[in-house]
Structure 1
Amino acid sequence: MSMENRGSARRQHGARPKVRAAIAAATTVAAVTALSFVALSASPPASGLTGPPMRAVATSCTTVTQPLGAATGWTEFVEGSGHRGSESEGSIAWGGNLDASGMTVGTRLTSAAGTATLVVAGTHGQYFNLQKGSAYVSPKSGVNFNGGGTYLASNPVDFAAAFTDLRSRSTAWGSAAATGTAAPGTAGGNTVLVLTGTDPTLNVFSLTPAQLTSANGIGYDVPAGSGVLVNVSGSAVTLQGQVWIKQGGTYYQANDSVMESWPGILWNFPTATTVTMSVGSAWGGTILAPNAALTIASVGHTIGQMVAKTFSSNYETHQRLYPSSACLPPTTTTPPPSANRSDVRVVKTASSPAVHGGDTVTYTLEAKNVGLDDATGVVVRDALPTGVTFDSASSPCTQSSGVVSCSIGTLTPGQAKVLTVRVVADPIAGAGPAAHPMAFHELTPYKSEVQVDLDPGQTRTVTVACGAGDILGDGSLRVDHVDQGTGAPTDVRVLSSESTAVGTWKAVVRNDATGRAQAKGFVVCLPGLTEYADRQDGGASRHRHALSADAAVVATTQAWPAGRRTASVACPTGTAPVAPGFSLSGGAATLAGSEPAAGNGWAFTMDVAAPTTATLSVRCLRTTTSAVLGHTHDLVLAHVVRTVSVPAGATVEEQVTCADQAKGVVGTWSLPAGVQSLGNDPRLKARAFRLLNTTAAAQTATVDLECLGDRTTVETRGTVDPLVVVNTATVTSTSVDADPGNNSSTASVTVQPGSTTASVAPLVVARPSRLGVRIVSSMPGSGFVVVRSAGRDGRVLARGRVDLLAGTAQRVHLRLTAAGRRVEDGARAWLRIDPTRGPGVRRPVVVTRPG
């Protein structure tokens, strides 16, 4: 891996200091393990491998920009025609006809509205839900633009030239000498074909179709973060079994979180005319099969780009793009003009991962053109989040209403522009006044639903989102009807039901009946903000508190044989599990139990009919609100349990009801063997469960409900919780961008509570007799503010006494002195705050006179 790509991998995992430290430690361990393995290359392979001793071979590679040519940036890139029966998280381009109905495209994209993200040169299906970007289809119909895009006037892709180029690249890479070995081994209790390499940059493997069908899957055993090129010979190839990756000495089944660290895996089929994937897990790796009909017979989902002559799949393609710059065996391939595109990327870092309120943080933003053509009209934007206040920015950046915009213009290939944005971290509210015994806030959970119609054999992805800033409590798919005589409700199989973002639920459902099925998807949402304060003595102040949940889910992945299986996960102290979810990779299983466990845990029970890999997850809701005016509130949670009897062969609806002044936010259950859940309907105060008893005897089941109080507790003074401020920058250009996936970058800073009294925005706006200044204090009370000139005389320009509100930004006005009325625009000064509580603060400011 190039230094550039290694930096990118580190940045992907730099969201939080603790996570960054853990990953750094894990990377160090992996690196030591790899080095030790090379030193012992004459010894037998690691435990579980049965192949011959490994032989280290040097890899010859060269850094290639846009290694997939015109396919760069496309999750699906298909020369001809095919069929799709599920969503694609990224962008798709088809040169022929695409048979698809109700297909969702671009759920993981951050593309601008005008970017081409859906291209179908031939005929297209009934309709598409395009989440980001614009579309070229003919005729211009059948696309729901959910991200502000529109229909494009012309096809932006020359498929003939693109695939001529891709075939040339595929052939050249296919002749590269193998540097790693392939031998039978063990991963996850299965006999798999283990690909073993030692090169930290690139490992090349050469496989035959017979080798791929001789074992039950693939295991990658290469140094952490290294590139992998797998060349497969033959005309007819089958990929089968499960996919495993070894990290830190342990094999993990391929899933989205694991594959984040391994984008540089490329499977190359230069001579194949058919490639069939029958995989019982998620597939990890980009597929380049420019001459082949690629058919996905079974898979959890694919993680990587799918590049093929034709393509057929009823499964999701997840967005994990092959790097736009990668080290690969050298070729003499010259890309055609249609493949020479610009590719702007932005990388953002913070000067410190953890600060205290009042400290200055510098964000560094590097915009670079890693493409082959000039990038024109390049603009970097940084929308500053709540929790920081703008201080200054380097040229040519300007700031307006908290959004920093930097118009760079043209970047030639390889050219970079480094920008800086300075901000002040706002203090977190400290201890406030004594709690009022009648001070609390109301909470208003709500539900949302969507109708789901399924044709025979159809697989659909269902997505339901809460309102902006709100939090998913849980989601459920309820099966209502299967056409008479064509099947049973149990023929509608939920393959996944999980939270994909703090406020979003997604399910994948397949109709195995011979007739049409109807279902509904439901979600329960918690408000992102409380209602305004409710003090029954009439003294309420107009403020609200934020509810929050961890951005990442807590998850476990289990490879299960047939039978009843259990697993559990746990949230950290100070949080409660919500949005329990599961996702199956192959096999067949049903969720029989989803229940709170000891402490902050959650227990799952699954009835596994055919061996499967299940990823089980919960999101962790913080049980304390944000601090406002120096205080917080706690949420009130309770668990209601009901035991019910389900008659033999019957379908029943049973209801669980929360106590007064509470709403149901998470439905839970525990079912005996033979009883299946057909979903549940949230009615907020109550939850209605549909249960089917498939046995010949009455069965006892448990249905229960996690209830959230309609009101918070009364005030708790102060807070010990840090605040994670997440700041994302984006880059756009007016030229065609090859890889929209690298157009945004995020840096996170953790602001710690402390004794800092106040921070001040650097801009002081002069008015006829007063100066306006923005102040954020960590402590309530009052303070004296004085502004002095920066010169030797230190003349007083303005002064005043202010009331300080803990953790709340205020605009206050100071009275100008005679000297202050004469001060020039742009004059530098010092502002000092001396509060009644906490230490004083002295900051440089610039005096600005209006217009």
Structure 2
Amino acid sequence: MRHGVRGKNPLLRFAVVAALAAAPLLTLASVGQADQLAPPLGPCSGPDCPSTWDPPHTGPFNGADASLNIYVGGDYLVRQNAAEAEGKIAVVGNLDINKAMGGAFNMGVVGVGSMVTPPNATDHVTVGGSVAMDASQANPSRLFIGGTDFFVQPPKARWGNLKYGTTLTGAYDITPDGQAIRDPAAIDEFRGLTPVIEDHSACMARQSATGTVVDDGTTVTFTGDGTSARQVFNYGRNIGTDGGRRSLVFAGVPAGATVIVNMTGGDVTVNTNSGTGAADDPLTVLRPNLMWNFPTATSVAVTGDAQWQGSIMAGNPAGTTTLSNPGTNGRVYLAGNLLQQGSAGTEIHNYPFNGDLPVCGESPSPSPTDDDDNPSTSPSPSPSDSTSPSPSPSPSGSESPSPSPSPSTSTSPAPSPSGSTPVPTGSASTPVGPPLPDTGGGDLVAPAAGAAAVLLGLGGGVIALARRARGRHS
């Protein structure tokens, strides 16, 4: 497994960095080249990347990752009983947390996951627009950023900032010395990633299939050619929407190969019971090099009762990706919106994508599927030139709140960087102790994912122990 940032072509990597600064679309010379995603996307970056990435667990912390684990080009909505989102996060639009029964939503540092956090003293969550936590219930929704590792002595805080562009309303809790800072320019360093994600997603969709996909009614089997360093599967059907969840099996994939699954179509669902997160699970072995690509979908739904393995890329800036599965283990890179919801503690865990993606020029390669039983064609979408966020989706039964904060008597934090304004105020109530996320416990997992359920169930208990030498802003 590869860790850190590695590039096969230094000049190419410099070109990508320049493209991010100017926010144009990335167009490179010849189809057939390949490279890892450039920072802040893709592999772990920074001096404290771990040598191994453990299955989802409760601690101790295991290094730091300066790359983005979640990028949302539109709005990020948290609904139902979603619990956590691990790693460094950037949202171009708005962040809106409105849980069905209120309570905690952890970002950056979580109770169960890879336990690889964003680096200390950095911006753990950056939002271009507003941040709002619903305060209409007796138990209001509350955002937590940061935490304390009590598995080491002396205990060590993992802390970082919340940066936002317009307004901050509702209850939140940030571990010292982290601050909530209004800084409309903070998102600018990430905003140019939307067209980069569009371009990569479109490029993957142009690739010719190297393998076949067969659904026998209970299992979807992806069979590779056994030799190619990049295995490509193009599939134009939903998975598990015709009466039952599907198991996912990959065969004929050489060790270390990059695996790309292009899920084509406008309304795509993957409903699976495969994935435990255990180290010896075949999907866990594939995870660092596995990319699920949704190039044109206006609606993507990942659901089921397992720990999803692999990264997700969705290239349509007008699309919405809904994660309602117990756990997503991999990067989540979306040109459009993200809706995270679930009845039992849906979580996103921080795991890198180390695979080599194709590099496309202006002339796309043909992309027929090799699966005669599943005749799907891969689109060649044209990435949008617009980087403006898409309108927020409106899930049934939930509205975006805009509660007004009450005056706070808490001490103002340390001076903020030039051009930004720290705002430590939220709701006027301070809980006796930090509320804990419901990570779902045994209700989450099918028999194939029992180990993951145990890990998720432990998360809330460890937060009770490890959370936190905090400064509360309420």
TM-score of the two chains, using structure 1 as the length reference: 0.31
Question: Alpha-carbon deviation of 1:76?
Answer: 2.1
1:90–1:319 CA contact under 8 A, matched in 2 = yes
Aligned residue in 2 for 1:93: 90
d(CA) in 2 for partners of 1:130, 1:3: 26
- Aligned match of 2:257 in 226, 231, 236? 226
1:113–1:147 CA contact under 8 A, matched in 2 = no
Letter in 1 for 2:328: T
1:116–1:135 CA contact under 8 A, matched in 2 = yes
SS in 1 for 2:359: coil
Aligned residue in 2 for 1:613: 449
CA deviation map 1:799-827 (0-9, x unaligned): xxxxxxxxxxxxxxxxxxxxxxxxxxxxx
Aligned residue in 2 for 1:217: 247
Question: Alpha-carbon deviation of 1:263?
Answer: 1.2
Aligned residue in 2 for 1:282: 307
Matches within 5 A, 1:673-712: none
Aligned residue in 2 for 1:112: 119
Question: Alpha-carbon deviation of 1:95?
Answer: 1.6
Aligned residue in 1 for 2:211: 180
CA deviation map 1:756-775 (0-9, x unaligned): xxxxxxxxxxxxxxxxxxxx
Would you tell me which structure has more strand in proportion to its own residues?
A: 1
Question: Alpha-carbon deviation of 1:285?
Answer: 1.2
1:243–1:254 CA contact under 8 A, matched in 2 = no
CA deviation map 1:421-450 (0-9, x unaligned): xxxxxxxxxxxxxxxxxxxxxxxxxxxx98
- Aligned match of 2:360 in 331, 351, 354? 331
Matches within 5 A, 1:776-791: none
d(CA) in 2 for partners of 1:172, 1:287: 15
Aligned residue in 2 for 1:150: 179
- Aligned match of 1:461 in 437, 444, 451? 437
Aligned residue in 2 for 1:80: 74
Letter in 2 for 1:192: T
d(CA) in 2 for partners of 1:226, 1:70: 16
Letter in 2 for 1:331: C
1:116–1:156 CA contact under 8 A, matched in 2 = no
Instruction: Tell me: CA distance 1:257–1:320, structure 2 relative to 1, closer, same or farther (3 Å).
Output: farther
Aligned residue in 2 for 1:206: 234
Aligned residue in 1 for 2:350: 319
SS in 2 for 1:322: coil
Which of the pair has the greater relative contact order for Cα pairs under 8 Å at 6+ separation? 2
Question: Alpha-carbon deviation of 1:451?
Answer: 5.8
d(CA) in 2 for partners of 1:586, 1:180: 30
d(CA) in 1 for partners of 2:437, 2:290: 27
Instruction: Tell me: CA distance 1:191–1:296, structure 2 relative to 1, closer, same or farther (3 Å).
Output: same
SS in 1 for 2:218: strand
Instruction: Tell me: CA distance 1:195–1:67, structure 2 relative to 1, closer, same or farther (3 Å).
Output: farther
Matches within 5 A, 1:754-769: none
d(CA) in 2 for partners of 1:4, 1:145: 28
Instruction: Tell me: CA distance 1:105–1:257, structure 2 relative to 1, closer, same or farther (3 Å).
Output: farther
d(CA) in 1 for partners of 2:3, 2:91: 34
d(CA) in 2 for partners of 1:139, 1:71: 32
Question: Alpha-carbon deviation of 1:155?
Answer: 3.7
Instruction: Tell me: CA distance 1:182–1:282, structure 2 relative to 1, closer, same or farther (3 Å).
Output: same
d(CA) in 1 for partners of 2:249, 2:445: 17
Instruction: Tell me: CA distance 1:93–1:327, structure 2 relative to 1, closer, same or farther (3 Å).
Output: same
d(CA) in 2 for partners of 1:322, 1:316: 18
Question: Alpha-carbon deviation of 1:114?
Answer: 2.9
d(CA) in 2 for partners of 1:147, 1:305: 27
- Aligned match of 2:287 in 262, 273, 287? 262
Question: Alpha-carbon deviation of 1:145?
Answer: 2.6
2:161–2:178 CA contact under 8 A, matched in 1 = yes
Aligned residue in 1 for 2:35: 63
Question: Alpha-carbon deviation of 1:100?
Answer: 1.4
1:195 is the counterpart of 2:222? yes
1:287–1:306 CA contact under 8 A, matched in 2 = yes
d(CA) in 1 for partners of 2:261, 2:144: 34
Aligned residue in 1 for 2:329: 303
Question: Alpha-carbon deviation of 1:113?
Answer: 3.1
Aligned-residue CA RMSD (Å) = 4.0
SS in 1 for 2:232: strand
- Structure with greater Cα Rg: 1
SS in 2 for 1:329: strand
Letter in 2 for 1:220: F
SS in 2 for 1:75: strand
1:61–1:329 CA contact under 8 A, matched in 2 = yes
1:129 is the counterpart of 2:144? yes
Matches within 5 A, 1:512-551: none
Aligned residues: 296
Question: Alpha-carbon deviation of 1:89?
Answer: 1.8
Aligned residue in 1 for 2:411: none
CA deviation map 1:241-274 (0-9, x unaligned): 2225xxxxxxxx4457753663121111111110
1:265–1:286 CA contact under 8 A, matched in 2 = yes
Instruction: Tell me: CA distance 1:321–1:147, structure 2 relative to 1, closer, same or farther (3 Å).
Output: farther
d(CA) in 1 for partners of 2:105, 2:4: 35
Question: Alpha-carbon deviation of 1:237?
Answer: 0.3
Matches within 5 A, 1:355-754: 461=437, 495-496=440-441, 585-586=444-445, 613-615=449-451
CA deviation map 1:100-137 (0-9, x unaligned): 16321122344333322101222213342111322202
CA deviation map 1:675-696 (0-9, x unaligned): xxxx9xxxxxxxxxxxxxxxxx
SS in 1 for 2:203: helix
CA deviation map 1:404-436 (0-9, x unaligned): xxxxxxxxxxxxxxxxxxxxxxxxxxxxxxxxx
Aligned residue in 1 for 2:139: none
Instruction: Tell me: CA distance 1:237–1:255, structure 2 relative to 1, closer, same or farther (3 Å).
Output: farther
Aligned residue in 1 for 2:50: none
CA deviation map 1:185-227 (0-9, x unaligned): 6xxxx82111122236321111112466467132223233322
Letter in 2 for 1:614: G
Instruction: Tell me: CA distance 1:155–1:146, structure 2 relative to 1, closer, same or farther (3 Å).
Output: same
Question: Alpha-carbon deviation of 1:149?
Answer: 2.5
Instruction: Tell me: CA distance 1:199–1:3, structure 2 relative to 1, closer, same or farther (3 Å).
Output: farther
Unaligned runs of 5+ in 1: 7-58, 245-252, 340-448, 454-459, 463-493, 497-582, 588-610, 620-678, 680-851
Question: Alpha-carbon deviation of 1:74?
Answer: 2.1
SS in 2 for 1:218: strand
d(CA) in 1 for partners of 2:278, 2:207: 29
